[in-house]
Amino acid sequence: MSWWARFARLRQLGVLGMNRRNTACILDLNPRARFPLVDGKRRLAELCRSIHVPTPELYGTVASHSALRRLPELLADLPDFVIKPDHGAAGRGILVITGRDGQRFIGHDGRRLGLDEIRQQVSEIISGLFSLGGWTDQALVQQRVAPDASFERISFRGTPDVRVVIYKHVPALAMLRLPTRQSDGRANLHQGAIGAGIHLETGVVHQAECRNRLIECHPDTGERIIGLQVPYWKEILSMARRVSAAVQMGYVGVDIVIDRRRGPLLLEANARPGLAIQIANGQGLLKRFAAIERDELASSSPALE
């Protein structure tokens, strides 16, 4: 197939490309002044508290190298936790601790880590090694989410999350991201996680892909993914809408995890959501945008007598 035929086919399917995303969506719909609300996880969590959207509990922050001396005290009574950069991107710099073995910490992959290794990770976060733009950052110590029981058989080690892309405060597409062995237990599609398209009305998984190949079962567990009912679906869509309205952005990706004890928790929001959600759903975003705009126009038009 020629490049022109491929282009025509993508256009027919309503696939949103990178250039149009950057101009018509991010530049036109997301005011630059609002970016700090979503680029900083701590600031977004504070906003979520004000609109009664639950987030993982924040145990503490380490904002400078001099504050590293407080790290042993901060971690002393925590059986498990997550350390992440406040301004990180693409899942980089996140350290998940699932338990303890004496004086050592157990990572999500089973590794035993000493306090010095934890301190080194936090130091690298503060230095800006994982932050957007390489600016100095702060490390957040948060609650480790225990995934809902419905995800146990279709996830490898890590925590699945739900990405909802919101267009003009209306859900456009959604997918479930499932960690795999290849992604090292992280729900990151670029590292090899699964993207599973979710039917917006029902919350049921209807298609799944991994590394741009359609699949029906998890490659590591062998369990079927297609047909899975995502729990708390109405609550998830409601949370995504409320966050979109609060940050005042017209094109935003909202990431939600489901804790087995607390239910849906807002993990983060992204002012520059990627485009792989279209592959996961087998559907282009442009067609969804057009449908949302038609509905908006119809609802705003005066009724004819």
Nearest to 41 by CA among 192, 265, 226: 265
pLDDT (0 to 100) of residue 305:
47
Q: What is the pTM of this model?
A: 0.92
pLDDT (0 to 100) of residue 299:
76
Helical ranges in the chain per DSSP H: 3-13, 18-20, 28-29, 35-39, 41-50, 71-75, 115-126, 233-247, 277-281, 285-300
Cβ-proximal residues to 73 (8 Å cutoff; 6+ apart), any chain: none
pLDDT (0 to 100) of residue 14:
87
Instruction: Write out the chain's pLDDT in tens, 305 residues.
Output: 565 566 566 677 789 999 999 999 999 999 999 999 999 999 999 999 999 999 999 999 999 999 999 999 999 999 999 999 999 877 788 999 999 999 999 998 889 999 999 999 999 999 999 987 788 999 999 999 999 999 989 999 889 999 999 999 999 999 999 999 999 888 889 899 999 999 999 999 999 999 989 999 999 999 999 999 999 999 999 999 999 999 999 999 999 999 999 999 999 999 999 999 999 999 999 999 999 999 888 876 665 44
Q: Is 228 strand, coil or helix?
A: coil
| Cβ contacts of 239-242, under 8 Å, gap ≥ 24 | 239/53, 239/264, 239/266, 240/164, 240/166, 240/171, 241/166, 241/169, 241/170, 241/171, 242/51, 242/53
- Separation CA 221–CA 21 (nearest Å): 35
